[in-house]
Structure 1
Amino acid sequence: MPRYTMTFSPLFAPVAKRLSTALLAAALGLGASAALADDSSIILRGSDGWLFPGWGSLTEVDSRGINDSTALIKDAQQALAARGIKLQVLVLPDKTRFYPDKLPAGKSLSPAVQQRYKTILSSLRQAGISAIDDEQVLRQLKDKGTDVFYRTDQHWTQPAADATAVATAEQVRRDVPTLKGNAGSGMALGSEFKERRFGDLAERFLTPDQRKETGRETFTVRRQVAADSLLGDTPAPLHVTGHSMVQPYFGFPQKLSNSLDRPVSVNWKPGNVGQWIMLLEYLESADFKRNPPQVLVWQMFEPTYAQGPQASGLWDNASIMSPDTWRQRLRAAVGK
């Protein structure tokens, strides 16, 4: 697989890339629109300077939407399986469920929303779709006193990304005991450094005075190891497609590669693009046609899992399509 070149836009828009290229420096992905928020603001300003995305409902669960999304994912699983590709779905839990005590006064998760992640996971497993329980993974970390999300950012911390990567690697080994490639071809992990800045929620949605009041916070990032230590053109047996949580800046794909001891490739865009178009962009790419992986990890978000490819007002306009159109493009791309 050839190395991808890294390009930057004013909004830090990512491109699909191999992890042997330079580490993304401070790339930030915006989340989805506020269309589904049950608050008047696109963000929720909680106590002690905590900020939460406001585009997921704290009270309602779209059970029908969950089932419809799972049905589409099942179609993808079957199409990929016909090509010998194992699909693993990674649903990342919402930030609010780990910090309910930091929500604004009068805001709380309803009993149904408290169970929403388990509802999604149950739907996937009943459909025979491989998925880890990342809520449990992050809960164990949080219970030990480690933050799993940044205070002023929508994204997870490096320990949370690392723990999820390890759990994902363990599930991959259960699903596909023998990955192609050679031992020693995984990514070496660089040393850590700290950077002090505003989180993306503070940077993009607070006024200057509000940012000053909220304050900066410290982000932990790993340095990129020398590119020569990687097998730059070696095909990756595993590909990750998703949103800004899986960008290299937060460390998930590097840790996954290190844990599997195999190269990993990744494509990602901000969350308002939608998981449906992200999968199609990869499957329709020349890279997929040249080097289809053994395992495809498809990352999604709990709050927007129930929103299908037709969700106008949530995804950007270029991502909107009917479920039937999505299925047609899926089958054409996979070749089944």
Structure 2
Amino acid sequence: MTRSLRILYIALFLGLLLALGIWSLTAFGNFNRTEQMTLLNGKWAKAVETHYDDEFPIKRLGTNIWAALDFKVFNEGRPGVILGKDQWLYTDEEFDPVANSEQIEAENFALIRGVRDQLKQHGVQLVMAIVPAKARLYPEHIGAQTPASLHADLYQQFHAQAQQAGIVAPDLLAPLQQAKQQGQVFLRTDTHWTPMGAEVVAQNLSKTIAAQMPLNGTPQQYQTAAVKTEPYKGDLTTFLPLDPLFSNLLPKPDDLQQRATTVVNSSADSSSDAGDAALFANNDIPVALVGTSYSANPHWNFLGALQQSLKSDVVNYAEDGHGPILPMLKYLQTDAFKNSPPQVLIWEFPERYLPMKNDLSEFDPKWVANLKKSSDTNNQNLAVGQSN
């Protein structure tokens, strides 16, 4: 290499570094500093570093290229997603094996029985909405990778365990399988059900509740209307980091029809209102709902579908991103539950969470142990009673 070529090579290299450096400074255009971020406590420097790392153009370029290679060459995404056929995506939680799954299932179901007992002590009737896996409802779109044997009969086993424990848990698999002939009950690119799927579940839960534990009070009329239909990029597309360079490779967004449920104003006179107040005097909250993002996220309108089907107000204690068990344990410790327990509590519980480990470190270990122990004691008493 001649001296001139070396100088040219060095100049091009330095020019490239300078261009990339200037380009990367654009990342600070949308950086927002809060009052808590100061130089002295180090939070400002950490926030700048994190923001720069997330927005660094070369990192994004490398991420996009690598994701595109995985997607097109190996038909894979990042851990968290399983690529199916026909642009369908599935969560890998419905496919992967789980270490010590039998022990985890036993521990989680002991907590479920303990919750049942806690609710019973407060006069609350538990109704479990065991949500079938998306892979179970739409196996025709699964690609080469199939669910591990753990998931083969998980829904049926979970449902049978609930029945054996005396927990009201209507079968939701058959109604959803039937409903999918008329429309989509789960989103193609998302973990969750569609508003139609949520409505099917709500209707079946309300039939069970009406037959076995009619709600107190005068029915309240609700109406649901379609708001708008918009393209919706499901949560599973986040495991395909192809934006912005290879956005064209992403599965086509779902068409999500938003729904809204509102109460119908009653023309009843004041004497009727007084009668309603008397009926609800001993039980101000007819129905409570605890669960996951299937219940918490307003996109699916599960709360509204329940209100319309039950013809009753429903108080929602579901949480997004914490699974079904943690929100329930939190609810049991609230003043709302202790002071104003509902007549019926609906616990929305996706089947895939039964063999999943929960971090219960935020709860008193003795309290959690007593929950499990109370269920064991009740089972022993039940066995003794049956033997006699």
Q: Which residue of 2 aligns with 1:197?
A: 232
Structure 2 segments unaligned to the other structure (5+ residues): 1-76, 267-272, 374-388
What is the identity percentage for the equivalent residue pairs of Structure 1 and Structure 2?
Answer: 25
1:62 alignment counterpart: 101
- 2: CA distance, partners of 1:276 / 1:88: 14
The equivalent of 1:14 in structure 2 is: none
- Measured after TM superposition, the shift of residue 140 of structure 1 is 1.4
Question: What's the CA shift for 1:275?
Answer: 2.0
Relative to structure 1, the CA distance from residue 225 to residue 274 in structure 2 (aligned partners, 3 Å threshold; closer, same or farther) is closer
Provide the C-alpha distance between the structure 2 equivalents of 1:127 and 1:326, rounded to a whole number of angstroms. Answer: 19
2:87 counterpart residue number: 49
Q: Is the 8 A contact 1:97 1:109 kept in 2?
A: no
- CA distance in 1: counterparts of 2:189 and 2:199, whole angstroms: 20
TM-score using structure 1 length: 0.73
Shift of 1:86: 0.3
Matching of residue 149 in structure 1 with residue 186 in structure 2: yes
- Of structures 1 and 2, the one scoring higher in RCO (CA 8 A, sep 6+) is 1
- Letter of the 1:73 partner, please give it: I
Shift of 1:264: 0.7
Per-residue CA shift, 1:161-216, capped at 9, x if unaligned? 00100111111123312x12222x24322334212121121146432155432122
1:244 equivalent to 2:280? Answer: no
Q: Deviations over 1:248-306 (max 9, x none)?
A: 320211111111111111122223x1322201222222332342100011111211112
- Deviations 1:103-146 (Å, cap 9, x if unpaired)? 232x113555221100111111111111111112211112x242
Counterparts of 1:318 and 1:111, CA distance in 2: 27
Moved more, 51-60 or 279-288: 51-60
> Of residues 95, 101, 104 in structure 1, which corresponds to 2:140?
101
Residues 1:119 and 2:119 aligned together: no
Which segment drifts farther, 217-226 or 154-163?
217-226
Aligned length: 280
1:168 counterpart = 2:210? no
1:129 counterpart = 2:178? no
8 Å Cα contact 2:291-2:327 kept in structure 1: yes
Cα distance in 2, alignment partners of residues 236 and 195 from structure 1: 35
- 1:243 to partner: Cα distance: 0.7
Query: For residues 334 and 221 of structure 2, what CA distance do their matches in structure 1 show?
Result: 24
Distance 2:262 2:78 in 1: 44
Answer yes or no: is the 8 Å Cα contact 1:44–1:51 preserved in 2.
Answer: yes
The one-letter amino acid paired with 1:259 is S
Amino acid at match of 2:338: K
The unaligned stretches of length 5 or more in structure 1 are: 1-38, 332-336
- Cα RMSD over matched residues? 3.0
For the residue of structure 2 that corresponds to 1:189, the secondary structure is: strand
Task: Confirm whether residue 182 of structure 1 aligns to residue 203 of structure 2.
Answer: no
One-letter amino acid of the counterpart of residue 200, structure 1 = D
Q: Deviations over 1:77-123 (max 9, x none)?
A: 12211211101111111111122232232x11355522110011111
More helix as a share of residues: 2
